[in-house]
Amino acid sequence: MSSATAMVAAEEVASGHALGRTAALAVTAVGVATPAGLDPVELARAVLAGRQGSADTEGLGDEALPPRGARVVPELQNAFAEHIGRKGNRHLDRTTRLGLLACQFALEGHTGPVGPRTGVVLGTSTGSIRSSSEYSMETLRQDRPYLVNPSLFPNTVMNCAAGQIAIRHGLKGVNATLAGGHLAGVQALRYARNALRQGHADRLLVGGVEEYCAQSAWGWHRSGALGIDAPVGEGAAFLMIEPAAAVHAAGRRGLARILACETAFAGGRGLGDALAAVIGAALVRSGKDPAEVQAVSLGSTGQRGLELVEQRAVRAALGGRLPQRVIRVKDTVGECFSSGGALQIAALLGAWQDQGAAAAGETAVVTAVSQEGQVGCVVLDTNELGTGELGAGGLGD
């Protein structure tokens, strides 16, 4: 056990709040829409090979874009029409289209029932930044506010994408949208874990979505938060999450188990110490030793002041080492903000699927950290569940 893990365990026991094991969750399907393709395995191969996603920004509008790299889902309009259809989609914005596409792939790959107690948990920042910005501009351009096109308003609501996903697929269960920025993916998983544990749903589509647009691209460019060569990107990823016990009882196979999902706020501690501690807490709750971790999916790639902090924290929590496999999804898809955590997990699952039987028994950690002081960690493994077919367009066809 590393010093960071031991420190967390000692602190929790001393405070009377010893970390207990929680029931594992099973990931039974995954769907993605990324600049590297619409397939988790394709995404993983691109990430591990160091290939960059599509940089084609044609069709995104006439706004000037910053002199910074872009990573954009190619031909989204055509992909959406092929997999979702054309009817009733006229007023859907890019954020909603990305989310619907990723969820469609996850549902196509889901082998179990999808009943009335299936819901959606979406991680975001503010919803569609472009839709909100354009609607606000319309209120200033028009002579009277009531002359603004009312069909533009629904896309400005933060939970628009989650609502459209539920409507499109008839999902009548829990429907929640969490604004968490870089921690949105981890926070969405924690919310889903609690909802499932308390019996509020049987299964949940959990993920994140972020669109590329001129507004967010300029925001990142002017903020100084990204390295000079770090691109701004977009993407969506959704996981079908169910209690692992229910999956076993039904005789079904999953893609991986989620053993722990922990978040914390740095407070008076440094970000590195806080992240190392939360990784330690997640490992304790998972019943895993740091030496068992064979892969890590990092979330701060390309962010000034955070990338090295994250790597050092992972080393500290894992006994002074980085695992053999280090997944840096943002090198391929760019800075995806609130969808980053879900894409990190999707790339990891794609890598495990690509390995097949060789991935059996592997353990991985997925980390997230923000400039505001939030840190998070998810622990996953492939024990007991095997590596079944991933749910994604084109995979296994």
Domain residues of the chain, as ranges? 3-20+256-381, 25-249
pLDDT of res. 232: 98
Instruction: Please tell me the CATH superfamily of domain 25-249, with its number.
Output: Thiolase/Chalcone synthase (3.40.47.10)
Token pair for 278:
């939360």
pLDDT of res. 87: 81
Q: Please give the biggest Cα pair distance in the chain.
A: 66
pLDDT of res. 19: 60
- What pTM value is reported for the model? 0.90
**The total number of residues written for the chain in this structure:** 397
Mean pLDDT by 10 residues, the chain (397 residues): 45 46 90 98 97 93 93 95 86 93 97 92 88 77 75 84 95 96 97 97 98 94 96 98 94 94 90 97 97 97 96 97 95 97 98 92 97 96 59 31
Question: Does domain 3-20+256-381 fall into CATH 3.40.50.300?
Answer: no
- Beta carbons of 122 and 207 less than 8 angstroms apart: yes
pLDDT of res. 350: 97
Token pair for 272:
């590195």
In the chain, which ranges are continuous DSSP H helix? Answer: 3-14, 40-49, 76-83, 94-109, 129-141, 160-169, 184-197, 214-223, 244-249, 271-286, 307-317, 330-333, 340-355
Q: Do domains 3-20+256-381 and 25-249 have the same CATH topology?
A: yes
Distance, in Å, from the CA atom of 279 to the CA atom of 305, rounded to the nearest integer, reads 19
Token pair for 174:
């829990």
**Of 157, 211, 201, 156, whose CA–CA distance to 175 is shortest?**
201
pLDDT of res. 18: 54
pLDDT of res. 22: 75
**Of 292, 272, 270, 276, whose CA–CA distance to 361 is shortest?**
292
Question: CA separation (Å) from 36 to 33, 93, 133?
Answer: 8, 21, 27
Q: At what angle do helices 76-83 and 94-109 cross, to 10 degrees?
A: 40
pLDDT of res. 156: 81
